[in-house]
Amino acid sequence: MRGPVIAAFLALTAAMAAPAVGRDRDPVEHARAMRAAGDLEGAEALLEAALPDRSDTSSAPRVAIELARCRLEMWDAEGARDAVADGEDWSETLGLDRIEVLAIADFMSGREASARERFARLPGASPVTQHYLGLIDFNAGRFERALEHFSRALASDPEDYYSALHLGWCLLELGRLEEARAALGKLLERADSPEVWQLLGRVDLRAERFADASARFREALARSPDDAESVFGLATALRRLGDGDGAREAFDRFRVLHRRHQEALRRSYVLTQRQLSSGDVTLLEELAAHALSAGDPVEAERAAWRALRGDAARVGARLTLARALASAGRYTAAALHYRRLLRAVPDHEVATAELRALIRDHGRRVDDE
C-alpha cells in the first residue's frame, strides 16, 4: 500500500482545462489552475517562462516554489531541487516552503533521514509535513509516533484519505482493535476502497472474528481481485472457520498471485538495472508498461513520467500514463493525456477507443473533477 500513499499529494481535483487567462494574470495562479486540470507540462512551461531572472526577489521565489511543486507532481525530485536551488534572500514564509519542498523531494528519493531533518526545521508543521513525518515513523515501525502525526494531519485536514487510512493502520499495529475498527469504519463511509476493506479484515482477523474477517476480505477482493494480501487473509479466516475446501482454494490462489508478484518484481529489477546502466529512455517506457500490467499504477505513473521527462514525444509512455491515471480514478488527468497523445497521433486507434470509453463510463467525473 505504500505506493499510493507516496502519491497522495499528487491527486488532482479540478476542471478539465485551465480557464482562459489574460497576459496580466499572475503566472503562479495560472499555473495552479493548469496543475489542477492535470496539465503539469503546460504549467511547468509557463513557470519556466516566468522565471527568466532569479534576481527579482519580489516574484522569483514564488514562481520557483510553484515550479518545484509542479515537478514533484511529475515525480521529478531532482528537478524540484533545481527549481529552488537558489534560496538566498527569500522571505521567511517562502523559505519555509522551500524547506518543505526539499523535504518532500528527499522523501521521494528514499532519503528519509534527510527528509526528517528538514521537516523538523519547520515550525507549526503543516498537514503535509505531519503526513510525511507520519510516513517516516510508520516505515520505521514507530507506530505511536506515527499515530500522533497522522492525528495532527487529520485535525487540520479531516478529508485526508491517506492520513486517515494510516491512522487506522497504526491502531491495528498497536493492537488497539476497537479504535482501529471505528476509525476505518468511519473512513469507509466516504471511501469505499479495497485498502480500507483489507485493513478492516485484518482487524477482525486479529480479533478472531473470522466470519466478519472473511466478509471484509471478500469485499476487498470484489474491488481488487488480485490483491494477494486479501486472498491470504481470506484463506486464513476460512481455515479458522473450518472451511477446509475454501481455505485450500484460497491458499492455492494466493500461491499463484505470490509467484506472479515475485516474477513481476524480478522483471522490474532487471529493467531498472538495465535502465540505470544505460540511461535508455525506452527502458523507462517498458518499465512503466510492465508496472501497470503487474497491477502497480503508481509505479507505472512514476516511470511513465520519467520517460516523458526524457522525451515528451514518447507515445507509449503517454498511453501508459493515461491508463495509470485512469486506473487510479483520476479521470480528468487521464483524459488530458489521451487527448495530448491524439493531438500528436490523430489516428491512434487504441487511445481513441480508450478515451471514448473513459468519457462514456466516467463522463461526469471527467467534467467535475
SS (H, E, C) 54-97: CCCCCCHHHHHHHHHHHHHHCCCHHHHHHHCCCCCCCCHHHHHH
pLDDT digits (tens, 9 = 90+) for 263-311: 999 999 999 999 889 989 999 999 999 999 988 888 999 999 999 999 9
Q: Residue 301: its pLDDT value, please?
A: 95
pLDDT top residue among 276 and 202: 202
Give the cell for residue 81: 531541487
Q: How far apart are CA 113 and CA 136, in angstroms?
A: 8
pLDDT digits (tens, 9 = 90+) for 110-157: 999 999 999 988 887 789 899 999 999 999 999 999 999 999 999 999
Confirm if 67 and 99 have CB atoms less than 8 A apart.
no
Spell out a b/e string for 212-251, using b for 16 or more CB atoms within 10 Å of the CB, else e: bbbbbbebbbeebeebbbbbbbbbbbbbeeebeebbeebb
Q: How far apart are CA 181 and CA 168, in angstroms?
A: 7
Confirm if 251 and 280 have CB atoms less than 8 A apart.
no
Helices 60-73 and 40-49: angle between axes, nearest 10 degrees? 160
Q: Residue 58: its pLDDT value, please?
A: 64
Residues of the chain above pLDDT 90, percent: 74
- What number is the average pLDDT over the span 153-174? 95
Q: Residue 139: its pLDDT value, please?
A: 94
Confirm if 91 and 121 have CB atoms less than 8 A apart.
no
Q: Which residue type sits at 156?
A: S
Q: Cell 540511461 sits at which residue?
A: 279
Q: Residue 94: its pLDDT value, please?
A: 85
Q: Residue 112: its pLDDT value, please?
A: 93
Spell out a b/e string for 90-112, using b for 16 or more CB atoms within 10 Å of the CB, else e: beeebebbbbbbbbbbbbbeeeb
Confirm if 368 and 12 have CB atoms less than 8 A apart.
no
pLDDT category of residue 367 using cuts at 50, 70 and 90: low
pLDDT at 1 over 60: no
Residues of the chain above pLDDT 70, percent: 89
pLDDT at 21 over 50: no
pLDDT digits (tens, 9 = 90+) for 206-234: 999 999 999 999 999 999 898 999 999 99
pLDDT digits (tens, 9 = 90+) for 64-111: 999 999 999 999 999 999 999 987 667 888 889 999 999 999 999 999
Q: How far apart are CA 57 and CA 91, in angstroms?
A: 9
Q: Residue 55: its pLDDT value, please?
A: 54
pLDDT at 25 over 90: no
Confirm if 160 and 154 have CB atoms less than 8 A apart.
yes
pLDDT at 6 over 90: no
Whole-number average pLDDT of the chain: 89
List CB contacts of 34: < 8 A, sequence separation 6 or more: 18, 40, 42, 43, 46
Highest-confidence segment of 29-33, 47-51, 176-180, 327-331: 176-180
Q: Where are the beta strands (DSSP E) in 107-202?
A: none
pLDDT top residue among 33 and 17: 33
pLDDT top residue among 17 and 195: 195
List CB contacts of 173: < 8 A, sequence separation 6 or more: 143
pLDDT category of residue 13 using cuts at 50, 70 and 90: very low
Q: Residue 312: its pLDDT value, please?
A: 94
Give the cell for residue 78: 531532482
Q: Residue 362: its pLDDT value, please?
A: 84
List CB contacts of 205: < 8 A, sequence separation 6 or more: 213, 233, 236, 237
DSSP state of 225: T
Q: Residue 4: its pLDDT value, please?
A: 43
Q: Residue 364: its pLDDT value, please?
A: 66
pLDDT top residue among 364 and 263: 263
pLDDT top residue among 223 and 10: 223
Q: How far apart are CA 223 and CA 194, in angstroms?
A: 6
List CB contacts of 63: < 8 A, sequence separation 6 or more: 27, 28, 47, 50, 51
